Amino acid sequence: MAATGCVVFFLFSFFFPWLGILPEMAFWVLLALVLADALMLFRASKGVFAKRLAPERLSNGDDNELSIYIENLYPFNIAAGIIDEIPFQFQRRDVLFRTALRSGQNKLINYFLRPTKRGEYEFGLIRVYVKSPLALIRRRYDFGPGEVLPVYPSFLQMRKYELMAISNRLNEVGIKKIRRVGHSLEFEQVKNYVPGDDFRTINWKATARHGNLMTNLYTDEKSQHVYCVIDKSRAMKMPFEGLSLLDYAINASLVLSNVAILKEDKAGLITVAEKIGSVVPADRKAVQMNRILEVLYKEKTRYLETNMELLYATIRNVLKQRSLVVFFTNYESMPALERQLPFLKRIARLHLLLVVFFENTELKTLSEEPARNVEDIYIKTIAEKFAYDKKLMVKELARHGIQSILSTPQNLTVNTINRYLQLKARQTI
């Protein structure tokens, strides 16, 4: 075969001598095209422009929208590959966008990032790789400098519930309407009777004076104190869907404090581990939410047990009137609850105490899976035992007159606001 190939090549070279210069011609044509491509891309000092459009801060646990603005300054069409150097905390290497732009065209490329830890996130450069219509070489542009964005507790979630609370649409996300037991003693005004008003609220003296049926309008009691107490001990370190239990508690506390202020109550905050972390006295001023947000931004999980005696002493000193105390914590066993129960009972004598702890969703999944062998039966039994212990904790707290919420991390915010509105409607605060 090799000999036959040589004979064929010899015959072609003998009869068509110009075929021998084809490779050389192809080389020079390719070189000319590459030089032309390089001249097209590099003769302009600024062929493209790009920048990152990001908010001043990111919201923890939420999808935050960021954008990249890119503009083609070349007199010809280009194909661009864009790499955004996002912070290492995201552990992503796929933030690459490909697009094509006509001459003078600009585009806005949107993408989302979901942080799962609070703190500072450092963004790097934006790198743009440009190809001309010849597409033989690429030119890289670097746009910067980088920037550092803080990740705060979930203020996006807070704004969502804020708008719904203002428009009385909290039931759209699961907030239940609670039937009132009687009405509050907080008188607001006398108004004309309209069909559907409670007959018991008719003001007969005003009716006699005006000649029309008049009713008293009552409103919820205001300026009640609502304190979120956040346990930041090692029990709150457990992660679910990337967020720790502490972060879920922080996000729920932020939303609950904001809703309480919108309901014209006073919101406060206490954080605790082996020592008291931060104390924000209850208030409803315009700057109160910023104070709470800044305090929660800096809180971190500790690795020791909660000092309940110190928490009880702090509550005695700080809370001067009966308040709603929402205690975010977690118990994985009955002995853990029993160690804290004496102090919880003391707090419940002075204030309306609501203990919020977490349902282990992973254990629930294990308990619902079918068992295929002896090991699976053992794991399933242990998972059911831990799940049953959680229900026993709720009954144990109720036996001592302490209200509680056993919630999955994902539904913590909705369940907490539900209970706050329920307690307020029943006038138990």
Whole-number pLDDT of residue 63: 93
Whole-number pLDDT of residue 347: 95
d(CA 408, CA 241): 12
pTM: 0.77
- Number of domains forming the structure of the chain: 3
DSSP-based three-state secondary structure for 245:
helix
Residue 325 lies in a domain: yes
Residue 200 lies in a domain: yes
Residue 12 lies in a domain: no
pLDDT at residue 113 tops 80: yes
Query: Among 292, 255, 288, 287, which residue's Cα sits nearest to residue 271?
Result: 292
Please check whether residues 384 and 270 belong to one and the same domain: yes
Residue 382 lies in a domain: yes
Q: Are 86 and 110 in contact (CB under 8 A)?
A: no
DSSP letter string, 371-389: P-SHHHHHHHHHHHHHHHH
Q: Are 357 and 236 in contact (CB under 8 A)?
A: no
Please check whether residues 203 and 328 belong to one and the same domain: no
Residue 38 lies in a domain: no
Split at pLDDT 50, 70, 90, the class of 209 is: confident
Digit-coded pLDDT (tens) for 29-70: 778 888 888 888 888 888 999 999 999 999 999 999 999 999
Domain boundaries, position 208:
186-219
Please check whether residues 147 and 260 belong to one and the same domain: no
Please check whether residues 190 and 231 belong to one and the same domain: no
Structure-block tokens of residue 345: 């009972």
Whole-number pLDDT of residue 373: 83
pLDDT at residue 180 tops 50: no
Digit-coded pLDDT (tens) for 119-178: 999 999 999 999 999 888 899 999 988 899 999 999 888 877 776 665 555 555 555 544
Q: What is the CATH number of the domain that holds 345?
A: 3.40.50.410
Please check whether residues 166 and 122 belong to one and the same domain: no
Please check whether residues 137 and 280 belong to one and the same domain: no
Residue 8 lies in a domain: no
Q: Are 401 and 239 in contact (CB under 8 A)?
A: no
Please check whether residues 411 and 318 belong to one and the same domain: yes
Please check whether residues 175 and 228 belong to one and the same domain: yes
Query: Among 205, 226, 230, 225, which residue's Cα sits nearest to residue 215?
Result: 205
Please check whether residues 249 and 279 belong to one and the same domain: yes
Residue 288 lies in a domain: yes
pLDDT at residue 349 tops 90: yes
Structure-block tokens of residue 9: 């090549």
pLDDT at residue 181 tops 50: no
Residue 337 lies in a domain: yes
* 419 against 369, higher pLDDT: 419
Please check whether residues 284 and 402 belong to one and the same domain: yes
Structure-block tokens of residue 262: 């919108």
Name the least confident of 30-34, 88-92, 406-410. 30-34
Q: What is the CATH number of the domain that holds 61?
A: 2.60.40.10
Question: Residue 241: is it exposed, middle or buried by C-beta count within 10 angstroms (0-12/13-18/19+)?
Answer: exposed
Please check whether residues 287 and 213 belong to one and the same domain: no
Query: Among 41, 22, 71, 26, which residue's Cα sits nearest to residue 136?
Result: 41
Digit-coded pLDDT (tens) for 286-322: 899 999 999 999 898 888 889 999 999 999 999 989 9
**For the chain, what percentages of helix, strand and coil (3-state, to nearest 5) are there?**
40, 30, 30
Kindly give, in sequence order, each residue whose CB lies less than 8 Å from that of residue 177, ignoring residues fewer than 6 positions away. 171
Please check whether residues 247 and 293 belong to one and the same domain: yes
Per-residue b or e along 301-328, where b marks 16 or more CB atoms closer than 10 Å to that residue's CB = bbeeebbbeebbebbeebbeeebbbbbb
pLDDT at residue 282 tops 90: yes
Say how many Å lie between the first and final Cα of the chain, rounded. 98
Q: What percent of the chain clears pLDDT 90, i.e. is strictly above it?
A: 50
Whole-number pLDDT of residue 9: 47
